[in-house]
Amino acid sequence: MENKNNFNKVSGFTDIFSDELSLTQKLDSKFFNFTALWGYEKIETPIIEKSSIFSRKTGSSIGSNIYNFTDPSGLDVSLRADFTTSIMRSYLENNFTNNEMRFSYSGEIYRYDGDINNNYSRQNGVELIGSSNIYSDLEIIAMSKIFLSSVIHDDIKISMGHVGILQDVIKYFELNDRIGLFLLQNIDFIKNERSNEQIILRAEEHGIFFDKEVSVFNSSSDDISSLLNFAFHKDSKFQQTRNSESIINGLMNKLSKNISKAKFSECLDVFRNLLNINGDLDYSISEANKILSNIPVKNNLKSLYDLVNNLNYYEIDDSDVLMNFGLVREWGYYTGFVFDIYNGENVILGGGGRYDSLGNSLGESLPAAGFAVDSEKIISNNNKSIKNTTNKKITVFINDEKDLNEAIMTCKEERSRGNIVSLKSSFANLDDAKKWSANNEVSEIIFFENNKIIRSEIKLG
């Protein structure tokens, strides 16, 4: 006999039934009606994209969790892991590059996550492509808060940061991109770990080595040239796309840029001080100014201050905004302001920010910003504004063919009143029909007896 477990759904995925689907559709309707009032057009991108568009700016923590496979034609493709990247690809492919465009979307993204056994999520979001001014940034933040406030009866708060400030610090200490990525991916560890040596140990565990490890390499360009000549000419399987001189220069350049443990430690101290700032807008910016007094990050710091300070134009009070200089987002393409948005229980419901570098990674420089909210968290927040309407559920029970015409007419009449009606004939008797109705939130059962229509209320719960 075939093992029934062979037909179970894949771990980390869920079957979705009528009640939840109708809530999702209602949320989508509210979201698209809302975004249309702000001038956003609906867009739907394919569920499968070329793998290369996600691999360019993922960061290692996400890249390994993307569903990658080869299609029958031999093309490397991935399940959609991110809407922002797909929409930017669409924008470029359809030659919208001379226009400021606003898109809104809803749908699933897919990423493997064995820890929580949930490998997909559903989002509602927007992207504003082609504008870099503060008005666009204000619009993105304001839209997210206003929409969530309209569907969730709870205090909605915003946590704000700016990735550009952290990137400027990394650049000031002349640390390379690999170390920069390590720092941004280990923000919480750096904030809470007082010992720089422990952080250095973790960096070395990630394959990052400092002065003493690199200094043992004393090879000259002639030594490297000899090795490459052997590879080029002695091994017929060795394939190269650059000439030997280019490769030698590149290797010598990389090897000459030793990673300074002293500079890394100084950078850690600045990071830790920034990450532990906790206060309102004016206090936070003042403290950050002191910490960064010798580092040229003033433009990004002022941009963050102006952005938060001007949210009052959308009636968002400073008290609704928490400054968080350690806020980064999981995708590596963010370059400017970033934010999370959360409810009174500190559950993060969504977030977004500015991602001007994503266009570069796909072939064209483009300013852009956007946000996304977690549809499932909104639905599960037990808010009344997107709950299903309480249509009356009725079972029409028939156990005799002579009552069929009457049963069909009764169903038609009740449906015309907006009631949900199921015609049932598979139960052995009326008592079984009543038990089923009580277990399925049916409030009334209609049956036929001696050519009469009988109605019976069902006690629920």
Tell me: the pLDDT tens digits for 356-409? Answer: 888 776 777 789 999 999 999 998 875 556 666 667 889 999 988 899 999 999
Tokens of 129: 């492509």
Average pLDDT along the chain: 84
pLDDT tens for each residue of 35-72: 999 999 999 999 999 988 887 654 445 567 888 989 99
Helices within 206-297 (DSSP H only): 211-215, 221-234, 244-256, 261-275, 281-291
**CA–CA separation, 168 and 208 (whole Å):** 20
Q: What pLDDT, on a 0 to 100 scale, did the predictor assign at position 384?
A: 55
Considering the entire predicted model, what is its pTM? 0.78
Residue 15, classified by CB atoms within 10 Å of its CB into exposed (0-12), middle (13-18) or buried (19+), is exposed
DSSP-derived 3-state class of residue 320: helix
Tokens of 438: 């009580």
Tokens of 446: 């209609």
DSSP-derived 3-state class of residue 298: helix
Q: ∠ CA 147-17-456 to the nearest 5 degrees?
A: 105
Question: Which phi and psi angles does 83 have, rounded to 5°?
Answer: -75, -40
For residue 327, what are the CA distances in angstroms to 131, 225, 233, 274?
Answer: 23, 45, 50, 11
**CA–CA separation, 456 and 427 (whole Å):** 17
Calculate the CA dihedral of residues 262, 193, 288, 353 and round it to 10 degrees: 110
Question: Which phi and psi angles does 57 have, rounded to 5°?
Answer: -135, 40
Confidence band, pLDDT 50/70/90 cuts, at residue 100 = confident
Q: What pLDDT, on a 0 to 100 scale, did the predictor assign at position 272?
A: 95
Q: What pLDDT, on a 0 to 100 scale, did the predictor assign at position 224?
A: 47
Instruction: Note whether 107 and 372 are within 8 A (CB).
Output: no
Instruction: Note whether 13 and 120 are within 8 A (CB).
Output: yes
Instruction: Note whether 29 and 104 are within 8 A (CB).
Output: no
**Long-range Cβ contact pairs of 218-221 (< 8 A, separation 24 or more):** 221/248, 221/249, 221/252
**CA–CA separation, 351 and 140 (whole Å):** 10
End-to-end CA distance of the chain: 40
Confidence band, pLDDT 50/70/90 cuts, at residue 214 = very low
The kind and range of the H/E element at 36 are: helix 18-36
359's CB contacts (< 8 A; 6+ apart) are 88, 92, 365, 366, 367, 368
**CA–CA separation, 249 and 267 (whole Å):** 29
Confidence band, pLDDT 50/70/90 cuts, at residue 32 = very high
pLDDT tens for each residue of 278-297: 888 999 999 999 999 888 77
> Does 185 or 251 have the greater pLDDT score?
185
For residue 168, what are the CA distances in angstroms to 227, 298, 383?
Answer: 38, 10, 42
List domains and CATH numbers for the chain. Answer: 8-156+343-385 (3.30.930.10), 393-457 (3.40.50.800)
In a 13 Å sphere around the CA of 13, the CA atoms on its Cβ side amount to 9
Strand partners, 168: none
Plot region of 95 (φ>0 → left; ψ -120 to 50 → alpha; else → beta): left
pLDDT tens for each residue of 107-141: 999 888 876 677 888 999 999 999 999 999 999 99
